[in-house]
Amino acid sequence: MTKMNPGVDNYLAVGCGRCPLGGTPDCKVHNWPDVLAKLRTILLETALTEEVKWSVPCYTFDGKNVLIMSALKEYCALGFFKGVLLQDPEGVLIQSTKNMQAERQFRFTNVQQVAELEQVIKAYVQEAIEVEKAGLEVAYKETAQFDVPDELQTVFDEDPAFREAFQSLTPGRQRGYLLYFSGAKQSKTRISRIEKCMPQIFEGIGLHDRY
């Protein structure tokens, strides 16, 4: 049985603190107190280790990240880091975005849903543990397989120095920018995102790097 981590107690009481709503009644954690508490109770009965990473509850096995618990505006979720490798015989796991390669989620909006899926959650957790024991890894798409938005290609053509700076980024940083730029529905938004990110790309900084 997993030992309770006091950091998770703080998360449930205050929130993750990653936005200005942390510690206030408007924090999204407070939208789902009963659901999060029930999910935690279930996870504490597994062989996972309860930790706090990225300011949210994270459950690991032998130091490997297995799943993360999070609260959003519309629902709260259990996200399996290697969910794509799970068999999902119940057909309950959700791919959060079309570009999400590895993670798959359980999503809940009430305690009854959690109670009904308790045994399924435990079975999926056990399968995820077996994935880690077997050393299985997700086969990620290569950076070259990601589409380059037309707007970005135009900038590359007009500014070879910028193209070289972008190509000098690590593959992970390149993918982060490509997904961010492509995620905008309107061309003008894609252009705005590219222009805003150009200075940090020239400095070799990733989209989510702290600097």
Question: Is there a contact between 23 and 15 (Cβ–Cβ < 8 Å)?
Answer: yes
Task: Quote the pLDDT of residue 101.
Answer: 72
User: What single-letter amino acid sits at 145?
Assistant: Q
Backbone angles phi, psi at 55, to 5 degrees: 70, 15
Give the Cα separation of 177 and 209 in Å (integer): 12
Tokens of 186: 């309107």
Residues in the chain: 211
The continuous run of DSSP H or E covering 88 comes out as: none
Query: Which structure tokens are listed for 128?
Result: 């995820």
Q: Per residue in 64-99, pLDDT tens?
A: 999 999 998 899 999 999 999 999 999 999 987 666
Neighbouring C-beta atoms of residue 112, cutoff 10 Å? 11
pLDDT beneath 70, residues of the chain:
1, 97-99, 140-145, 210-211
Digit-coded pLDDT (tens) for 157-178: 888 889 889 988 888 888 889 8
Q: Where exactly does CATH 3.90.1150 map onto the chain?
A: 6-133
Q: Check residue 82 and give its pLDDT.
A: 93
Distances (CA, A) of 113 to 75, 91, 94: 12, 15, 15
- The CA–CA distances, whole Å, from 100 to 84, 118, 141 equal 10, 25, 11
- CATH class held by domain 6-133: alpha beta
58 three-state secondary structure: strand
Write out the DSSP string of 53-85: ETTEEEEEETTEEEEEEEE-SS-EEEEETTGGG
Residue 129: what pLDDT? 97
